[in-house]
Amino acid sequence: MPVKFWETDMFQQFSAFGMSAGHCVPLLNMRKSLILSCDHQKLEREARICRLLKHPNIVRLHDSISEEGFHYLVFDLVTGGELFEDIVAREYYSEADASHCIHQILESVNHIHQHDIVHRDLKPENLLLASKCKGAAVKLADFGLAIEVQGEQQAWFGFAGTPGYLSPEVLRKDPYGKPVDIWACGVILYILLVGYPPFWDEDQHKLYQQIKAGAYDFPSPEWDTVTPEAKNLINQMLTINPAKRITADQALKHPWVCQRSTVASMMHRQETVECLRKFNARRKLKVIFVLFPIFLHKEIKLFGSTESCNTTTEDEDLKVRKQEIIKITEQLIEAINNGDFEAYTKICDPGLTSFEPEALGNLVEGMDFHKFYFENLLSKNSKPIHTTILNPHVHVIGEDAACIAYIRLTQYIDGQGRPRTTQSEETRVWHRRDGKWLNVHYHCSGAPAAPLQ
């Protein structure tokens, strides 16, 4: 009996037993009636590419089946989750461990390049572990953007990939080929060593300018404990000129990779683990912001949209709704400051999801954690005396959803009578049901939002 993992308008994933081997494999199921012919061609291209690849570090395609209006891709069952999520759960993580990870990633990239395949979307989300067993193999997944090339051919294959991992040549819209995957490997290796990416800016235009200029460095103190050999490999991977960039085969022969036991440091990198935990939380938040408008768009299509011909009225309505979101956010924060859990629950969805420092980077679902926080962690003797929301930005998503991002400044007197100030960067997603706004997702970075005992 298949067990459904997840479902959207276009995809369903199941766990089912293979017909011959008796192994449990997931099925990626797509309704033909819901896709355009060009999308169907892309799916067939992905299947064709995956059939060429048989390697222990690549998720293997077993079969492609079309029947009764459905298309199935039958892959290996990969149960270990994302590599980056596994790393933050480890008690010990060193530079040598990072070397072992990138070694396996390079093995998979070298294999696809030998078959004249370019992945084009190498990123943490596509690096999985075969199982939850210690030492499980890293598996490269998702060849939805992969292309076939002719040897070392360089051509313009279109703009494709994920912003932080795009190479300079793609951003310049120059001809490109296999070296784009090596650039992405360099970004991944950088993150593996310190827990944050080499290129980062909330403004995508500025991010792309950084990448095109190759504007990264190895700041102190976190990079002081990384060996010169590791930095050398990163530099060779993040070479702006793709013709001078190291290849996967050459990278596998780099001393830091092939001689890790004597070259790579064995020192535990706790700061890297902490930074990586925050990095993972930010990645998941971005996924929520991508999926939430899709979910909302589905509701709008079901119930219809009400478009007004009066632009002035629309603008005024938008302003009113934005102020409404700011006001309800202020009410929620006031409930927190007052330690009023009852008022807090009236403004929050029972299934509220959240990332916050007190949860150590873990995704919290439901109200149990928040109840514990109100009852045990909120200081009873040191109430915040003033809270300010700075630079609130509200994005209205349809009629019944919005998200707000802001800086929260909290000033209070601690237990010793000393004035304290904490700052946190927060984002909240709101959904209106039956005329009432409810907080459905919350993300906080920085220090805990309220003083702790």
Active site residues: 121
The answer to whether 337 touches 383, Cβ cutoff 8 Å, is yes
The contacts of residue 408 (CB under 8 Å, 6+ apart) are 333, 387, 388, 389, 390, 423, 424, 425, 426, 449
Round to whole Å and give the CA distance between 301 and 206.
35
The answer for 117, left when phi > 0, alpha when psi is -120 to 50, beta otherwise, is: beta
Round to whole Å and give the CA distance between 189 and 51.
28
Round to whole Å and give the CA distance between 276 and 360.
11
The amino acid occupying position 286 is: K
DSSP classification of residue 452: B
Round to whole Å and give the CA distance between 70 and 400.
33
The answer to whether 35 touches 10, Cβ cutoff 8 Å, is yes
Round to whole Å and give the CA distance between 422 and 411.
7
Instruction: Classify strands 127-129 and 384-396 as parallel, antiparallel or unpaired.
Output: unpaired
The answer to whether 421 touches 263, Cβ cutoff 8 Å, is no
The contacts of residue 148 (CB under 8 Å, 6+ apart) are 45, 49, 116, 117
Chain centroid to CA 228: how far? 29
CA distances from 332 to 126, 356, 393 (A): 37, 16, 17
SS3 of residue 7 by DSSP: strand
The answer to whether 396 touches 315, Cβ cutoff 8 Å, is no
Q: What DSSP element (H or E) covers 337?
A: helix 311-337
Residue 197 token pair: 């990416």
